[in-house]
A = this chain, B = another copy of it.
């Protein structure tokens, strides 16, 4: 199947009017009045950001890779308080990639679009490579004029809030990579973790809360400690986190508390990344409103506060600073 046939058969049906039927080399966007545009771009490499198709596993299938690419990029928009509009794709497919994998990839895009309306494909480029698959998406979203949440607005005395749980995706990746998980978890826990890894939920539902309360926000992609570090650096502040306040899901809690060194096991998860939850700062005056938004199914947890100084400090229940090493994933 040629490049043009692949685009016509599989990608053109995913295009919004902005994509001009994918017959053009460009997309045309009429920016909605009263809004700013938010642009994000994330790239994934086979064997680095997702398992190689050669590895037998659900995670290796084309549909999963495509869905994860879109979901993780949407997470960047969620962290800005933005509403997604559409995306452009760059697909470098291995020369010998089979047609079924390509078709499945397009199916995964379709599923992602249906999960997050009105998201549509605007355009992109499809090429071959002699190396591993490299896929990249540029996501475009909108915020009301002046309403984007940055990483740079944290102020001394702000609370630090975390949505959801940390660590499920890292546990899912262990499973996808066929790493031994001991003691052996239940099938239900494995399923829970695998879903967290394969289909992370971009927290677009928190848009209203972020726009009303957040002074700074990041999505947890590099690891909670590293992403707090990004906020600290961009804001020129320190972030002090309470180790005990950072919540784990029931499945992950169960596993961590069976480990010989519970603290080390939890620390590793705080540095692991791929959670795609949101960590944000908000003034103390927002505390009651944010506590009222907390539910068991979708927790919002206060995990620390913003200080003078710089960097991230992690404190145990006694208030002592804990050593957590580099604490985050650098892509090279």
**Residue in B80, B128, B330 whose CB lies within 8 Å of A3:** B330
Shortest distance from the beta carbon of A238 to any chain B beta carbon, whole Å: 16
Interface stretch, picked from A33-41, A241-249, A285-293, is: A33-41
Residues of B within 8 A of A332 (CB): 2-3, 6, 93, 95, 126-128
Q: Copies of this chain, how many? A: 2
**Residue in B6, B28, B93, B126 whose CB lies within 8 Å of A38:** B28
**Residue in B20, B39, B132, B234 whose CB lies within 8 Å of A129:** B132
Task: Give CA–CA (A248, B251) in the complex, Å.
Answer: 69
Q: Are the CB atoms of B31 and A125 closer together than 8 Å?
A: no
Q: Is A323's beta carbon under 8 Å from chain B?
A: no
If the complex has contacts A2-B332, A332-B127, are A90 and B43 also in contact, measured as CB distance less than 8 A?
yes
If the complex has contacts A90-B41, A90-B43, are A25 and B129 also in contact, measured as CB distance less than 8 A?
no
Q: Are the CB atoms of B330 and A41 closer together than 8 Å?
A: no
Shortest distance from the beta carbon of A135 to any chain B beta carbon, whole Å: 9
Interface residues of A in 87-109 (CB under 8 A from B): 88-93, 95
Residues of B within 8 A of A3 (CB): 330-332
Q: Is A181's beta carbon under 8 Å from chain B?
A: no
Interface residues on A, range: 35 or more
Q: Are the CB atoms of A36 and B29 closer together than 8 Å?
A: yes
Residues of B within 8 A of A219 (CB): 25
A-B residue pairs in contact (CB < 8 Å), sample of 23:
A2-B330, A3-B332, A20-B150, A20-B151, A20-B152, A24-B150, A26-B40, A26-B148, A27-B38, A27-B40, A28-B39, A29-B36, A39-B88, A40-B123, A41-B125, A43-B90, A45-B127, A90-B136, A92-B134, A93-B332, A127-B331, A129-B131, A138-B138
Given contacts A20-B234, A90-B90, could you give 5 more A-B pairs where the C-beta distance is less than 8 Å? A26-B82, A28-B39, A41-B89, A130-B131, A138-B138
Q: Which 8 A-B pairs have the closest CB atoms?
A: A131-B131, A31-B31, A90-B136, A23-B234, A128-B332, A134-B134, A138-B138, A29-B37
A contact residues vs B (CB 8 Å cutoff): 2-4, 6, 20-21, 23-31, 35-45, 47-49, 76-77, 79-80, 82, 88-93, 95, 122-132, 134, 136, 138, 140, 145, 148, 150-152, 218-219, 221, 230, 233-234, 330-332
